[in-house]
Amino acid sequence: MSQLNLAAIPGEARAVLRTTLTSPYGRKVRMAAQVLGLDDRIEIRPADTLDAGDDLRDQNPLGKMPCLMADGMTMFDSRVIVEYLDALAGGGRLIPAGGVDRFHCLTRVALADGIADAALLMVYEGRFRDAAQMSARWLDHQKGKVTRGLTALQADLPDPDTTDAAAISVACMLGYLDWRRPVEWRGDWPALVDWLDRFAAHEPAFDATRIPA
Ligand SMILES: N[C@@H](CCC(=O)N[C@@H](CS)C(=O)NCC(=O)O)C(=O)O
């Protein structure tokens, strides 16, 4: 079994992360790398998911970012990359190594990422269709996932004073909702507002990876 060491792939000076600074999933990876002290070893290279000529599509056939090239591999998606970085840092720092805690953490990650997925589909509906083509039924379907997800999350929040993979996913998803505003969440989920304020005060990597204005 070969060791993980974040080695650059041939032709590169450092490991390369394909992501824009606006992707909530890319932000998860950027935050995880900062928290684990690995960010200096990763070069961030933007990608344009709409450009058929962008080699992101060779790196990830799904044409999605983030995508990390290191240790002779190309890794996606954000959950895999966060798990890789955690393993590289010795394991168990962002994702508990085992037991119920591990699967509780991973389920919270799946919920927060799933809310981001539904929010992104709402944003894409506006980006890929003109007003006459937009489906109110589809938007409502996705919005239901966002609102039910936020309610479930509010009832089972991770500790805001501990940075784990779940807290990173929740913070990046809420940051994305604040940026793109597919739903106005702040009035209806006040415990999430308090959670984000507290997490941002505890974890400097949240501000350091803020979506640029
Ligand atoms: N499950 C993936 C989602 C990644 C994703 O959807 N990224 C968006 C950017 S924020 C993307 O690449 N969209 C382009 C597309 O879907 O074609 C992950 O966690 O990495």
51, 64, 113, 173: residue to mutate for ligand 1 pocket, most atoms within 8 A of CB: 64
φ, ψ (nearest 5 deg) of residue 136: -65, -35
Of 54, 65, 83, best ligand 1 pocket probe by most atoms within 8 Å of the beta carbon:
65
Distance 52 CA to ligand 1 centre (A): 15
Domains 15-88 and 99-204 share a fold: no
Distance CA 72, CA 70 (A): 5
Would the CB of 176 count as within 6 Å of ligand 1? Answer: no
Q: Tell me which CATH code domain 99-204 carries.
A: 1.20.1050.10
pLDDT in tens, 165-194: 999 999 999 999 999 999 999 999 999 999
- Is the CB of residue 44 less than 8 Å from the CB of residue 30? yes
pLDDT of residue 213: 81
pLDDT tens digits for range 116-127:
999 999 999 999
Under CATH, which architecture does the 15-88 domain have?
3-Layer(aba) Sandwich (3.40)
Q: Are 37 and 117 in contact, with CB atoms under 8 Å apart?
A: no
**CA–centroid distance for 24 within its chain:** 5
Q: How far apart are CA 59 and CA 153, in angstroms?
A: 33
Residue nearest to atom 19 of ligand 1 (CA): 78
DSSP secondary structure, 148-193, as one string: HHHHHHHHSPPPTTS--HHHHHHHHHHHHHHHH-SS--TTT-HHHH
Q: For residue 188, how far is its CA from the centre of ligand 1 (angstroms)?
A: 27
Domains in the chain: boundaries: 15-88, 99-204
Q: What's the maximum distance between 2 C-alpha atoms anywhere in the chain?
A: 55
Length of the chain: 213
Question: What is the model's pTM?
Answer: 0.98
Closest CA to 119 of 63, 47, 174, 65: 174
- Give the bridge partners for 16, in sequence order: 43, 69
Q: Could you read off the pLDDT of 18-66 as tens digits, one per residue? A: 999 999 999 999 999 999 999 999 999 999 999 999 999 999 999 999 9
From CA 137, how far away is CA 139, in angstroms rounded? 5
Ligand 1 center–CA 46 separation, angstroms: 13
